[in-house]
Amino acid sequence: MDIVSRVLFAALSQSSTKPPDTRMSYHHQQHGTSSGSRTATRNFEFGRTHVVRPKGKHQATIVWLHGLGDNGSSASQLLESLSLPNIKWICPTAPTRPVALLGGFRCSAWFDVGEISEEGTDDWEGLDASAAHVANLLSTEPADVKLGIGGFSMGAATAIYSATCFALGKYANGNPYTVNLRAVVGLSGWLPGARVLRNKIERSNEAIRRAASLPILLCHGNSDDVVPYNYGEKSSRYLVLAGFRTVAFKSYEGLGHFTVPREMNEVCSWISARLGLDGSRS
């Protein structure tokens, strides 16, 4: 058990709240190029970004976000093995920061979290900084390439939050969101700000139109003891109620807080269909 897991289990022994990530599926030494991003009030120094180049014609670019305590290198190892030759994967590493759920223990995290709860206070500043960092990574891609975001657990929460920013056309801080997303994938995650989303989107016809245009795939194991299954299911329902018309929710019998080949195969099929990838290696 790694140090993050040990601290998380210690936190669990003192609280009934489930943490976002106690098990990290992939751990490798970091390598690659550095990347950084800042906000107006707090500095967030992002870690290294790892890129998996397309093996075929470059038709899409997807930023993939790791879970709590993990890194971009781990994500790239998984994505490199997928049968999606036309996708360029960008795998950034979250800033190292104190996490309230861990009693202030510092680890890589896309935002701070004290609990996963509809009643909890979301770290909008941290979410905005990470969503803006992802958008910046996508902003330099060629105009004819389709753009998407995906992630696992806390990374999934950040990806889904980015989907809401796309629909609203802005971040929580009011700054404009300018990336044209074509697909979002969230594995074993949840939707930050779920209860207020519908009200925000219904205020704008443009937000309603954008929400309806963005396909989202959510996958969750029904034996997940870290991010409970019902959180994923509720997130799907809240997205649909808010106006996201193309939301697919896939459940996996007996799956805990990790990924399995069957799940990743279905993710590949969904992405290929939604982005119209031809599978060509030429």
Q: Which of 61, 69, 55 is nearest to 24 (CA)?
A: 69
CATH number for the domain formed by residue range(s) 46-275 = 3.40.50.1820
Cα 264–Cα 268–Cα 271 angle in degrees, nearest 5: 130
pLDDT digits (tens, 9 = 90+) for 58-108: 999 999 999 999 999 999 999 999 999 999 999 999 999 999 988 999 999
Q: Which of 35-39, 43-47, 267-271 has the lowest mean pLDDT?
A: 35-39
Residue 7, CA atoms < 13 Å, CB-side half-sphere: 17
What pairs with residue 51 in β-bridges?
A: 90
CB 279 within 8 A of CB 56: yes
**Spans of all domains in the chain:** 46-275
Please spell the DSSP secondary structure of 35-56, one letter per residue. --EE-SSSEE---EEEEE--SS
| DSSP label of 100 | G
- Give the model confidence (pLDDT) of 153-182 as tens digits: 999 999 999 999 999 999 999 999 999 999
pLDDT in the model for residue 237: 96
Look at residue 127 in the predicted model and tell me its pLDDT: 97
CA distance 95 to 71: 10
| Tens-digit pLDDT profile for residues 2-29 | 334 334 433 333 333 333 332 322 222 2
What's the whole-model pTM score?
Answer: 0.85
